[in-house]
Amino acid sequence: MLIQKLPIDVIKLIAAGEVIDSLTAVVRELAENSLDAGAGRIVISLKPELWMIQVADNGKGMDRDDLLLCTQAHTTSKIRDTKDLHHINTLGFRGEALHSIAQLADVKIASRVADDCGYQVFCHDNHCSTITPVAIAPGTIITVENLFRNILLRRQATPPFKQQIKQIQILIGQLALCHPHVTWQLFVDDKLMLYINGNEQIKKVFSQLSKTINYNDLTYQQITVNTPTENNNSSLDIVLGLPDRLSRPRPDWVKIGLNGRVVKSPELESAIYSAFHRTLGRDRFPVIFIHLRTSPQQIDWNRHPAKAEIYLHNIDFWQEQIKSAINNIFRITDNNINQQIENKRVENIFKVAENQTLYQIEKQEIKQPQEKALGLIDLQVIAQSRNTYIVTEHSQGMWLIEQHIAHERILYEQLQDNWQLIPLPQPIILENLLPKQLEQLINLQLDIESFGENLWAVRNIPEMLAQRDDTQDALMELSWGADVDSAMVAVACRSAIRNGTKLTINQMQDIVDTWKMTRNPHTCPHGRPIYLSLEESSLYRFFRRHWVLGKSHGI
């Protein structure tokens, strides 16, 4: 007989190694336990050379009996029977992690519930020492030493320490986004590597995670969603970098959280990208985090062993919800106008202007004028500057709007809603088309046919181009595009009012009124910002109105 049943200790070791495969896995499991225990502060200390990890929290702690049980196989306080499997509201529920860690390392657990003294227990070689009282604050401190002491090969297989520490920092960042009220500290060899100050406002956590992300360039919205299959309230928390102010050269800040964990979901990511379509410049990616909270029955965590990838039921529904939520944020409405006006870029312009003056002025704190609800935003056109900028004012400041791209945004969205081809009274003759160009024109549903050697006759044209006298050039431009969408961008750009064109106040007011109602007024379809807001609060500071010199200055 070749087949034998494995001894139980080998089975256990293999199973443990599947749950815990690195320092990062230990940190993930312990930190998730701390979150499940309701901690508001989590301190993680690593000594990689010693294969040591400690996680201390101020959560609800474990009492004496639970402390004795928690490292045994399949012990959990989070579910009791099969029924509970459908209602899991915690990150853990399998009761495997502490047991697995205790198989692979020396573990010390000290814990205290609020109304008792603290206790601690040591586990070594599967045996837990007797339990002894210990003086600690309410919460739990778990110290793991000599990880993988019994499978040394595993130590060699894990990535270099530097890489694991990086992974742990990323992991903490992800958990912080999903649990913004929690304060985190990470020490490596007693050196503080990461400190995230918990805050109810997720935007404040976001900006702590990257120096390049400015708080004022983010917008936050929470949306309640009724899922179609169940009568439960799901929600989407969205933090998003306003596209005219914040974007990245890589998709490293496109993140999705699901019920408390950052996950990979190619389907939901593609919904985000399609909502940002023609909003950012070429090869730029959004800064966005969407935290979706829904009933656990909607989720299948078994796409990936570390629960990093998921299957979500009703994925089409969620894709639509995400797209429309993002589109709503882009709109300038009376509800979100206040979020639009604090602009970092303008602050920088003022800084440059200040630096150019002959003397340096110390930065002073100024009192922001009271922000009152704006009501329906009323952008009043007051002038045109350089035949290019529409100067508008509203009750809290003024905006400069570039006429060409504002109009281009309007036309682009009109084309998206209604791409119409109309017949031409006279065909337009094109010559020397490459097969690729011909194919693109046919894709655009143009009525095109051969008209002799290297000549083609086009008998219809996008409506917006019909009245122009450069239709031939316009068609050639369309033939070079990649798809219908790029054709729409090209048509919008060609048809929009050029910069340098003189406009009347009424014409400009029409453009501004239509533009502010577009789906995405922030950027043109190439990703350029459309308006510059000069708010009274910034102007107040720039003109040093807080210096209060006397009545003669008109203050």
- Phi/psi-derived region of residue 253, left when phi > 0, alpha when psi is between -120 and 50, beta in every other case: alpha
Distance CA 468, CA 154 (A): 71
Residues 6+ apart with CB under 8 A from 16: 99, 100, 101, 103, 104
Residue span 33-52 as binding mask against Mg ion, x where in contact by CB under 5 A, dash where not:
x-------------------
Match 């529409």 to its residue by tokens. Answer: 390
Residue 57 binding result from Mg ion, ligand ADP, none, given CB thresholds of 5 to 8 Å by partner type: ligand ADP
* Helix, strand, coil % over all residues of the chain, rounded to 5: 35, 25, 40
Residue 405 binding result from Mg ion, ligand ADP, none, given CB thresholds of 5 to 8 Å by partner type: none
* Residue 5 tokens, joined: 């049943």
Residue 243 binding result from ligand ADP, Mg ion, none, given CB thresholds of 5 to 8 Å by partner type: none
Residue 59 binding result from ligand ADP, Mg ion, none, given CB thresholds of 5 to 8 Å by partner type: ligand ADP
Using CA atoms of 157, 160, 164, 169 in order, give the dihedral in degrees to the nearest 10.
-170
Least spacing, CB of residue 92 vs Mg ion, in Å: 3
Residue span 88-107 as binding mask against Mg ion, x where in contact by CB under 5 A, dash where not:
----x----x----------
Q: Do 466 and 427 touch, CB atoms closer than 8 A?
A: no
Least spacing, CB of residue 33 vs Mg ion, in Å: 4
Query: Which is nearer to ligand ADP, 54 or 234 (by Cβ)?
Result: 54
| Binding residues among 16-35 for Mg ion as defined by CB under 5 A | 33
Least spacing, CB of residue 76 vs ligand ADP, in Å: 3
**Beta-bridge partners for 185:** 43, 195
Q: What residue number has its CB nearest to ligand ADP?
A: 92
Least spacing, CB of residue 489 vs ligand ADP, in Å: 51
DSSP 369: P
- Three-state secondary-structure class, residue 299: strand
Least spacing, CB of residue 33 vs ligand ADP, in Å: 3
Distance CA 391, CA 403 (A): 10
CA triplet 388, 390, 396: central angle to 5 degrees? 145
Least spacing, CB of residue 142 vs ligand ADP, in Å: 6
How many residues touch Mg ion under the rule CB under 5 A: the total is: 3
Query: Which is nearer to ligand ADP, 105 or 478 (by Cβ)?
Result: 105
Does 59 interact with Mg ion (rule: CB under 5 A)?
no
Least spacing, CB of residue 100 vs ligand ADP, in Å: 8
Residue 472: CB atoms within 10 A of its CB come to 14
Query: Which is nearer to ligand ADP, 76 or 520 (by Cβ)?
Result: 76
Query: Which is nearer to Mg ion, 78 or 394 (by Cβ)?
Result: 78
Query: Which residues form the interface with ligand ADP (CB under 6 A)?
Result: 29, 33-34, 37, 57, 59-62, 70, 75-78, 92-99, 140
Beta pairing, strands 389-394 & 397-402: antiparallel
Query: Which is nearer to Mg ion, 97 or 405 (by Cβ)?
Result: 97
Distance CA 102, CA 145 (A): 10
Least spacing, CB of residue 90 vs ligand ADP, in Å: 7
- Three-state secondary-structure class, residue 402: strand
Which parts of this chain interact with Mg ion (CB under 5 A)? 33, 92, 97
